Amino acid sequence: MKIISWNVNGIRSVQSKGFAETLARLDADCILLQETKAQADQIDKALAGIDGYHIYSNCAERKGYSGVTILSRQAPLQIVNDMGIAEHDREGRVIVAEFEQFFLLDVYVPNSGEELARLDYRASWDTELLAYCRQLQGKKPLIACGDFNVAHREIDIARPKPNYNKSAGYTQVEIDGFSRFLDAGLVDTFRHFNPDTVTYSWWSFRAGARARNVGWRIDYVLTSEALVGKIKQAFILPDISGSDHCPVGIEIDF
């Protein structure tokens, strides 16, 4: 089974950049999208030419903002939107598909914002998401994919020193928050299989950052420890364009 996660930075925008052709080339069994920035009818329209998938979306109340979508060749047992916390659920950031052997969680973690204005909210979000992941893991193994909006270690960011505790996505609060997911028995699959590889998943649109590979690795596929032995590979696909993020994913045997 191939699982792909991709922050598309607006599904209607990426639709005009060869999106359908890219998905066909990726040939994934499950595709998890973040930051769709659209309502359900707009997402269905954008994906109308993509056949062979069941499509499930969780959209923000605010139009043109946030949003996550799962495309799955196999119909899941059930779909659950959000974490059940009103403060967080308005922004359409979480959707879970339950399959026979595992839960598949698609998440778009909040950015801490300019001048870290939303850092306190982000910290509370991380705490609640971790509790939700623990709840799911108590029932069956979990695969959690998405834009976690944090570079976990120095190897995950091109310029760590000027960004540390100054830029959203590389503060100690966010780093510690992410570490707690790993402490809870989730494995950063890319780093597990590629311990020394410098590869990024997001580049600013400013100053030609992508061309110069001044990037951050902030998109992850985390799995329960029980699933690691089933994973054939974990990968990042920086050559695939269309968004300021690139796809990440795993191949896993079930």
pLDDT digits (tens, 9 = 90+) for 98-143: 999 999 999 999 999 999 999 999 999 999 999 999 999 999 999 9
User: What local confidence, expressed as pLDDT, does residue 10 receive?
Assistant: 97
- d(CA 188, CA 185) in angstroms, rounded, equals 10
Asked whether residue 86 carries a pLDDT value surpassing 90, the answer given is no
Give per-residue pLDDT as tens, 1-52. Answer: 999 999 999 999 999 899 999 999 999 999 999 999 999 999 999 998 899 9
> What's at 43, amino acid-wise?
I
Annotated catalytic residue: which of 82, 106, 126, 147? 147
User: What local confidence, expressed as pLDDT, does residue 207 receive?
Assistant: 87
- d(CA 169, CA 220) in angstroms, rounded, equals 13
| Domain residue ranges of the chain, discontinuous segments joined by + | 2-252
User: What local confidence, expressed as pLDDT, does residue 68 receive?
Assistant: 98
Spatial neighbors of 250 by CB under 8 A, at least 6 apart, are 2, 3, 143, 189, 221, 223, 231, 232, 233, 234, 235
User: What local confidence, expressed as pLDDT, does residue 49 receive?
Assistant: 84
132: left (phi over 0), alpha (psi -120 to 50) or beta: alpha
- d(CA 247, CA 1) in angstroms, rounded, equals 16
Phi and psi of 25, rounded to 5°? -70, -35
108 is catalytic: yes
Q: pLDDT band at residue 82, thresholds of 50, 70 and 90?
A: very high
The pLDDT > 70 percentage for the chain reads: 100
User: What local confidence, expressed as pLDDT, does residue 75 receive?
Assistant: 98
The pTM of this model reads 0.97
- d(CA 53, CA 71) in angstroms, rounded, equals 6
Q: Which CATH architecture has domain 2-252?
A: 4-Layer Sandwich (3.60)
User: What local confidence, expressed as pLDDT, does residue 61 receive?
Assistant: 93
User: What local confidence, expressed as pLDDT, does residue 148 receive?
Assistant: 99
Annotated catalytic residue: which of 53, 108, 132, 220? 108
User: What local confidence, expressed as pLDDT, does residue 30 receive?
Assistant: 99
147 is catalytic: yes
User: What local confidence, expressed as pLDDT, does residue 77 receive?
Assistant: 99
Helix (H, G, I), strand (E, B) or coil at 1: coil
User: What local confidence, expressed as pLDDT, does residue 109 receive?
Assistant: 98
Asked whether residue 87 carries a pLDDT value surpassing 90, the answer given is no
Give per-residue pLDDT as tens, 217-242. Answer: 999 999 999 999 999 999 999 999 99
Looking up tokens 């510690």 gives 176
- d(CA 50, CA 102) in angstroms, rounded, equals 25
User: What local confidence, expressed as pLDDT, does residue 98 receive?
Assistant: 99
Give per-residue pLDDT as tens, 182-218. Answer: 999 999 999 999 999 999 999 999 989 999 999 999 9
Contacts made by residues 209-215, CB under 8 angstroms, sequence distance 24+: 210/244, 213/158, 213/238, 214/158, 214/159, 215/157, 215/158
Asked whether residue 64 carries a pLDDT value surpassing 90, the answer given is yes
